[in-house]
Amino acid sequence: MAEPQHSAVTVLGLGAMGGALANGLLKRGLPVTVWNRSPDKAEALVEQGATFIPDLSAAIGASPVTIMCLSDHAACMSVLNGKAIAAAAGRTLIQLSTITSAESRELASRMAAASVRYLDGQILAYPDDILEARANLVCSGPPEVFNEHAATLRAMAGNVYHVGASHGAAPSFAKAHDSFSLGCYLSLLQGAAMCASSGVDLRAWSDYNLRYLSSGNLGREMAILADQTITRSYDEGLGATMNVWRGAAIKIVEECRTAGANVAHLDSLLALMDKSIAAGAGEKEIGVLFEQMTAK
Ligand code: NAP
């Protein structure tokens, strides 16, 4: 089935990210209407072809789809007043500000009550990635609404994924992504701190990690772990048991303490491993930690 074509778009919020979204749409040749609380931020976009409408309801009424990118949930709730929602009735609102899943559900029910078609989206990228159409954008909400606007979202952002029909799925997914990124960043920095404290060349540490990433080995290990969480079976895969990994973790902590490097996050990891082993998982693969993390 042919994918629906791009549509005219109104962008609410022209900060660093909202401005990049509007810019990206203009670069891809779409008709763009813009609105911002502080009108001066629209000037550069108008020079590039956008139409600035200072009245919020009129701006929403100018396009079949409105993309909103404000600071936070409170800003979205204050902007979406009765008049603005009435203007959006029968149209689509795509909410891209960073919010939680509970906040998204609150917005979705407010929009449903006013017959506004609503999609969540969370941007997992920086403004420059939008401008180059290489950003990752995760969306959730009714699949038929997503499919209708997927071409426009792809033109604007690059890589667009629908991660669930229920409102709130995209914010949950995005938090999981951020947690993954932060965990990776923390681990790289922790390793660098250990190397620095014991006089290991930081360039050697960096080069090694870049090779580890590009070799595909880490990707293969992640795929095995991810499969363990899906199947919830932890008897084989990577080839090392929880007991073996706990021994390695103790040695990492020892090494850090000797080098005077911080061990706070490793203490939490050890506590999680101990709980898992106490629950009888010592001879399972390390993916079994997932059971402790999801235990009520
Ligand atoms: P920003 O540059 O600080 O812009 C904030 C925007 O929100 C401005 O348009 C501002 O309007 C508007 N705003 C704030 N409070 C408002 C209110 N009460 N009523 C009306 N408008 C209000 O922030 P940003 O970087 O564009 O980020 C916007 C969203 O994108 C955030 O949720 C952020 O987490 C998300 N995001 C940003 C990035 C990034 O790298 N920048 C990456 C991923 C996701 P004024 O101009 O009038 O102040």
Reported as half-sphere exposure (CB side, CA atoms, 13 A), residue 60 has a value of: 20
Q: Is 127 in the pocket of ligand 1 (CB under 6 A)?
A: yes
- Residue 156 CA to residue 5 CA, distance in Å, equals 13
Q: Is the pLDDT of residue 187 over 70?
A: yes
Q: Tokens for 35?
A: 């609105």
Ligand 1 center to residue 69 CA distance, Å? 6
Model confidence at 263, pLDDT cuts 50, 70, 90, reads confident
- Residue 5 is predicted with a pLDDT of 63
Ligand 1 center to residue 83 CA distance, Å? 22
Q: Is 294 in the pocket of ligand 1 (CB under 6 A)?
A: no
CA torsion 264-265-266-268 (nearest 10°) is 100
- Residue 2 is predicted with a pLDDT of 47
Beta-carbon contacts of 42 under 8 Å, excluding residues fewer than 6 positions away, are 14, 34, 35, 36, 50, 52
- For 18, 34, 65, the CA distances from 68, given in Å and listed in that order, are 8, 10, 10
Atom of ligand 1 nearest to the CA of 72: 32
- In angstroms and rounded to an integer, the radius of gyration of the C-alpha atoms of the chain is 23
Q: Which of 70, 80, 120, 126 to mutate to test the pocket of ligand 1 (most atoms within 8 A of CB)?
A: 70
Q: Is the pLDDT of residue 141 over 50?
A: yes
Cβ atoms of residues 242 and 285 within 8 Å: yes
Nearest to 265 by CA among 186, 170, 184: 186
Atom of ligand 1 nearest to the CA of 41: 46
Determine the average pLDDT of the residues in 133-158. 96
The residue ranking higher by pLDDT, 262 or 290, is: 290
Q: Is the pLDDT of residue 293 over 80?
A: yes
Q: Is 17 in the pocket of ligand 1 (CB under 6 A)?
A: yes
Q: Is 38 in the pocket of ligand 1 (CB under 6 A)?
A: yes
Q: Helix, strand or coil for residue 217?
A: helix
Q: Is 77 in the pocket of ligand 1 (CB under 6 A)?
A: no
- Residue 280 is predicted with a pLDDT of 97
Ligand 1 center to residue 25 CA distance, Å? 18
Q: Is the pLDDT of residue 1 over 60?
A: no
Determine the average pLDDT of the residues in 81-105. 96
- Reported as a single tens digit per residue, the pLDDT across 3-18 is 456 789 999 999 999 9
The residue ranking higher by pLDDT, 198 or 49, is: 49
Atom of ligand 1 nearest to the CA of 97: 32
Strand positions, DSSP E, 31-144: 32-35, 51-52, 65-68, 92-95, 117-123, 135-140
Q: Is 121 in the pocket of ligand 1 (CB under 6 A)?
A: no
Model confidence at 295, pLDDT cuts 50, 70, 90, reads confident
Q: Is 171 in the pocket of ligand 1 (CB under 6 A)?
A: no
Instruction: Characterise 164 by phi-psi region: left (phi > 0), alpha (psi -120 to 50), beta (else).
Output: left
Ligand 1 center to residue 70 CA distance, Å? 4
Give me the percent of the chain exceeding a pLDDT of 90: 89
CA angle centred on 91, ends 85 and 95, rounded to 5°? 70
- For 177, 189, 213, 218, the CA distances from 184, given in Å and listed in that order, are 11, 9, 12, 12
Determine the average pLDDT of the residues in 272-287. 97
Q: Is 37 in the pocket of ligand 1 (CB under 6 A)?
A: yes
Residue located nearest, by CA, to atom 44 of ligand 1: 123
Supply the mean pLDDT for the chain. 94
